[in-house]
Amino acid sequence: MITKRIIPCLDVRNGRVVKGINFEGIQDVADPVEMARFYNESGADELVFYDITASVEERALFSDILVDVASQIFIPLTVGGGINTLDDFDRVLKCGADKVSVNSGAIRNPDLIEQGAKKYGDQCVVLSMDIKRVDGVFKLFSKGGRENTGIDALQWAVDGVNRGAGELVVNSIDTDGVKDGFDLELLDEIAARVSVPIIASGGAGKMEDFSELFQHPGIDAGLAASIFHFKEIDIRDLKQYLRKAGVEVRL
Amino acid sequence: MIAVIDYGVGNLFSLTASLKFLGAETIVTNKKEDILAADRIILPGVGAFEDAIAKLRATGLVETIIEETRRGKPLLGICLGMQLLFETSYEYGKHQGLGLIKGEIASIEEDLPKRPDGEKLKVPHIGWNSLNLKGSDPLFKYIKEGDYVYYVHSFYGKNCLENTIASSNYDIEITGAVRSGSVYGTQFHPEKSGNVGLNILRAFIEL
């Protein structure tokens, strides 16, 4: 049967993985290629690279890194960060990305989802959403979670799927960094409304958080960054734990 | 040398990179002489059947490809490239394929049963699924029963049991890989399936 997916996320700036400095077990602790190789060997099901660069020069460096990773690591790669136009899709796909994650670019121009889906297929377009409760209502935030767009997040998820998003990354700002579990209330609300795969993000602190997550129907994958980078959780250990808990995983 | 057929469908980065990683000499081409000169052929593909078969026919290469496989040259169709090998596809209408594999391409969604909760599994069938191998084909000499491969698709091969060499379970039996003589196809993406996928490509290179 199909497995639940475990996905580490790597934020890359100026050719290095941000927050990767305490990473053990590999030689160059912040080299994206080394980290990608390490995660591939430890059983990661996909990798997500976020380009958090600020300049054109750094962006070119990011592209070079992506080519390096995609030439050596043969599992699905998703790339996000700075995707605002179809040219941005084209640029990262030519460098070896399999899926393109849109966030703020799709908020500014929702047609971007449709255009990307039409040109490259639904499976290629991942809609990533930063969501926070405001007065008890789930609101969509932009610019890395700094700005409240005022948009109803649940409606945005439904609209995004209707426009052609093939997967959703649901990142809860409320649980992000708290390490007390995923935002199951939010995830359930979204799972009840859409039928595309949902990747949960924000809040994972221990292995039990993942087994609890996968008991909720409609959740296909768990994404995390620092708990994997800092080796608080080893992906292979996590998968063995999940398999014992009755969750189908790739080992 | 491996000829990867270039007919304007899909992103070939991972496929060519994985072949290069395995040390195979590869040419991405739409030229007849390259296909004749190559010792094996890969037919990739992502997208919709109707558009892809039209583009493939427009290259004028179909007869050459079929002729070469009849002479025993190994061919591997991947994902939509596998589906094109079938006789017929029912993806948005009825379309004729290359007829190298007996069977048809049908909608996963229409064939999925309802689960006890009243819901069906999601379509596309996307992610890692385990392979059930039928017999011991040389394509699988470096992998084992239950190994995981990566799928992304909404349509699948059916009524092709005599040509099926591997399948995966998704409430229905999803055709994972097919073979008729020197013609092979995989619904999953070996170039995205980690070490298992590399080992399948390696076996293809050694056929």
Q: What is each CA distance from A172 to A58, A205, A214, B167, in whole angstroms?
A: 28, 14, 17, 37
pLDDT for A75-132, tens place per residue? 999 999 999 999 999 999 999 999 999 999 999 999 999 999 988 888 899 999 999 9
Cβ <8 Å between B124 and A166: yes
Number of Cβ atoms within 10 Å of the Cβ of B126: 22
B169 touches chain A (CB under 8 A): yes
- Residues B150, B168: Cα–Cα separation, whole Å: 11
- Residue B111 — pLDDT band, cuts 50, 70, 90? very high
Within 8 A of B13 by CB-CB distance, chain A residues are: 70, 93-96
Residue B44 has φ and ψ, to the nearest 5°, of -85, -170
Cβ <8 Å between A45 and B128: yes
B153 is catalytic: no
A220 touches chain B (CB under 8 A): yes
In a domain, A50, yes or no: yes
pLDDT at residue B86, rounded to an integer: 98
pLDDT at residue A88, rounded to an integer: 94
A45 touches chain B (CB under 8 A): yes
Count the domains in chain A. 1
CATH number at residue A230: 3.20.20.70
DSSP-assigned letter for residue B165? E
Mean pLDDT of B9-15: 88
Q: What is the mean pLDDT of chain B?
A: 96
B28 touches chain A (CB under 8 A): no
In a domain, A25, yes or no: yes
- Report the percentage of chain B scoring pLDDT > 90: 93
Of A5, A45, A96, the CB nearest to B17: A96
Question: Which one of B68, B79, B95, B104 is the catalytic residue?
Answer: B79
- Residue A25 — pLDDT band, cuts 50, 70, 90? low
A240 touches chain B (CB under 8 A): no
Within 8 A of B148 by CB-CB distance, chain A residues are: 3, 250
Is the pLDDT at A21 greater than 50? The verdict is no
Within 8 A of A164 by CB-CB distance, chain B residues are: none
Instruction: Decide if A114 contacts A163 (C-beta within 8 A).
Output: yes
- Report the percentage of chain A scoring pLDDT > 70: 95
> Tell me, what's the ipTM?
0.92
Question: Which residues are paired to A152 by β-bridges?
Answer: A139
Cβ <8 Å between B127 and A195: no
B68 is catalytic: no
Instruction: Decide if A27 contacts A33 (C-beta within 8 A).
Output: no
Q: What is each CA distance from B116 to B96, B124, B129, B192, in whole angstroms?
A: 37, 20, 21, 32
Domains (range + CATH), chain B: 2-206 (3.40.50.880)
B189 is catalytic: yes
Under 8 Å CB pairs connecting chains A and B tally to 78
Within 8 A of A195 by CB-CB distance, chain B residues are: 122-123
In a domain, A249, yes or no: no
Runs of H (alpha helix) within chain A: 32-41, 56-70, 86-94, 104-108, 111-120, 153-163, 184-191, 207-214, 226-229, 235-244
Nearest CA in chain B to A42: B194
- Residue A171 corresponds to which tokens in the numbers above? 């990142």
Cβ <8 Å between A123 and B47: no
pLDDT at residue A143, rounded to an integer: 85
Within 8 A of A96 by CB-CB distance, chain B residues are: 13-14, 17
pLDDT at residue A146, rounded to an integer: 87
Mean pLDDT of B166-174: 98
DSSP assignment string, A89-141:
HHHHHHTT-SEEEESHHHHH-THHHHHHHHHH-GGGEEEEEEEEEETTEEEEE
CA distance B52 to chain A (A): 13
pLDDT at residue A128, rounded to an integer: 97
Greater pLDDT, A160 or A22: A160
In a domain, A250, yes or no: no
pLDDT for A178-221, tens place per residue? 899 999 999 999 999 999 999 999 999 999 999 999 999 899 99
In a domain, A172, yes or no: yes
pLDDT at residue A216, rounded to an integer: 95
CA distance B88 to chain A (A): 22
In a domain, A251, yes or no: no
Host domain of residue A178: 5-244
Mean pLDDT of B118-126: 91
Nearest CA in chain A to B9: A120
Greater pLDDT, A210 or A15: A210
